[in-house]
Structure 1
Amino acid sequence: MDGVAKKIRWSRFLHPQSGLGVIVPIDHGLTVGPIPGLRSVSQIESWIHHPVITGIIAHKGMVERLGSRGLLQGLGVMVHLNGMTSLSASPNRKELLTSVERALRLGADAVSLQLNFDGTCDAANLIQLGAVVDEAQSLGVPVLTMLYDKVEALRPEQRVPRMRHLIRACVELGTDALKIAAPAQLFQLPELLEGVHEHTPVFFAGGEKCSDEQLLALAREGVAAGATGLCVGRNVFQREPGTATLDRLQELVVDRPGEASPSPVVMLQAMS
């Protein structure tokens, strides 16, 4: 990540002790409406200041509302730039809805955009990423790309090579960080991240709400394979307040990031 301004802003998303982070996206409302956990600002207030959480990702309107309530203090703030509702005939085609400059005026430390590659919108995705990176670079703002492969008719052995190609395409266009889904088999994590974590922070998405042990295994194995942390939404805001899950997650990514994994995954140094 080049440039002092970018490095300063990016540091707000990482724990200084470990160089790892847990970022919580709450951009779901535009896509799927007021889902459980995001139906009110009060619900967000119940979890947003847990010490394991380093930052949030939200659309510009929600950043304004959370900021006006004083809920973003001490957090990295990332404004999500594109989107599309699930009501659309083409929900995978995410359109640009605001600018990097507008995000900065809202107090953002970084920006994000989601690219869904379903075989029909690949060119639009790459054009959009290229334009956002150019604007962000001129303003010293880090860009996180939420990258998803939405092509369904693939053999299992095609998944990781395709994802590595898409990751490389985003890196070639200058993204500073990536959020990706973990492969179905966690033993494939080192293969997926080989070479990537040396130059680009990678965060693993949580997807649908899973069990405590599944979430902790994802964090443990992801960090072991070189990931910079988690970027999980429903697995934070749809958990009951006061549960010990986030405390246990803090032990893995903050207090004891080098703790040995019980599975045979080679421990690599996490990028910061």
Structure 2
Amino acid sequence: MKELRLRRLRHPETGRVVICPMDHGVTLGPIKGLTDLELAVERVKRHVDAIVVHKGQIPVVSRQLGDHPEVAVLVHLNASVQGASSHPAKVLVAEVEEAAGLGADGVSVQLNLGCEGDADMLATVGRVTREARLLGLPVLAMTYPQPPGMSGEATDDIVHVARAAAELGADLVKVSMPLVPEEVERIVAGAGVPVVVSGGPYNDDRQAVLDGVRLAMEAGASGVALGRNVFQDADPQRSAKELYAAVHGQSRVRSFEDLDAYPIPDLPRNPF
């Protein structure tokens, strides 16, 4: 059953995936671009393969995706609040069975290693993957090395956390986007499961973001998981289109106008 749901995440021609996380509300509150979640989904839904939200936002997402059933929905299962003394330790706020009952196509869970509470987060990932396997749901692990024990900039630490999530049963892992092709290749090779790269905080240099995405795709990444660099852009719809083109190739963009500003060659299939 899980393979059937994984098939929804993958583009049928490229084997890659464009994920737009929109689960920031618990950690950061109603940040720019997500104050009206329904509007945010409406703006990007034509140009993403999947979105990530917390369980309470499923009704909002369902209203917007009624005419776009091809977009998969992942429910994020753990959370923390930035500014709280326990952050960045994540705690479970939803169950896999809950997500399945809501009709989700999969679940996501964050794994931070190197910080206080990381042992509990390891246990959480193990529990989530076990329950998801029994219910046939794919698991995306959002992986981040954290101080004081690890460095978010060190490739060795990035690939270590990604590999830990894979060893515990994650089907794909999200990592911070390295800027050097050889580092992406090391992470892809070391993780052992498909790797998607994240964008982090909003960068107003859209071209730099797209260049980084193209680099990651050419180095073997299986897709992206970019949220703020899409929905916080001055033109979220165009940002989503250009991101989709950078991952899948311009000829596959579902759009009403050409993306002539960023000619992007088709890239070879990278299945997962």
* Same fold? TM cut 0.5: yes
Q: 1:23 pairs with 19, 22, 30, which one? A: 19
Structure 2 residue 116 is the aligned partner of structure 1 residue 104: no
Unaligned 5+ runs, structure 1: 262-266
Q: Does 1:209 align with 2:202?
A: yes
| Aligned 8 A contact 1:46 1:241 in 2 | no
CA distance in 2, matches of 1:193, 1:73: 30
In structure 2, what is the equivalent of residue 59 of structure 1? 54
Q: In the alignment, is residue 241 of structure 1 matched against residue 227 of structure 2?
A: no
Match of 1:160 in 2: 155
Candidates 92, 105, 128, aligned match of 2:88? 92
SS in 2 for 1:194: helix
Secondary structure of the 1:145 match is: strand
- Aligned residues, how many? 258
Contact 2:200 2:228 in 1 (8 A): yes
Stretch deviating more after TM superposition (130-139 or 244-253): 244-253
- Whether 1:139 aligns to 2:135 is yes
Percent identical across equivalent pairs? 33
Deviation (angstroms), 1:76: 0.4
Give CA-to-partner distance per residue, 1:212-268, whole Å, 9 cap, x none.
1122112211111111111000011011236643333333322359x669xxxxx98
2:257 aligns to what? none
State the secondary structure of the residue aligned to 2:46.
coil
**CA spacing shift, 1:19–1:142, aligned 2, 3 Å:** same
Aligned in 2, Cα 1:135/1:225: closer, same or farther, shift over 3 Å?
same
Indicate the residue corresponding to 1:127 in structure 2: 123
What TM-score comes out, normalization by structure 2 length? 0.85
Unaligned runs of 5+ in 2: 252-263
Q: Provide, for residues 130-188 of structure 1, a one-character-per-residue CA deviation record: whole Å limited to 9, x for no partner.
A: 111111111111111000111257689x8112222222211111111101102354552
* 8 Å Cα contact 2:150-2:157 kept in structure 1: no
Give secondary structure in 1 for the equivalent of 2:45. coil
Q: CA 1:73–1:208 in structure 2 vs 1: closer, same or farther (change >3 Å)?
A: same
Q: Which moved further from structure 2: 24-33 or 242-251?
A: 242-251
1:15 touches 1:54 (CA, 8 Å); kept in 2?
Answer: yes
* Residue 226 to residue 61, structure 1, CA distance change in 2 (3 Å): same
Q: How does the TM-score come out when normalised to structure 1?
A: 0.85
The answer to whether the 8 Å contact 1:55/1:76 transfers is yes
CA contact (8 A) 1:92 1:118 kept: no
Alignment of 1:215-230 (within 5 A): 215-230=209-224
Structure 1 residues 128 and 144, CA gap change in structure 2 (3 angstroms): same
Q: Mean alpha-carbon deviation: is it higher for 84-93 or for 229-238?
A: 84-93
Structure 2 letter corresponding to 1:270:
N
User: Within 2, Cα distance between the matches of 1:205 and 1:7?
Assistant: 24
- Residue aligning to 1:40: 36
Q: For residue 13 of structure 2, give the secondary structure of its aligned residue in structure 1.
A: coil
In structure 2, the residue matched to 1:264 is none
Partner residue in 2 for 1:193: 188
**8 Å contact 1:9–1:142 — kept in the other structure?**
yes
Find the residue that maps to 2:142 and give its secondary structure.
strand
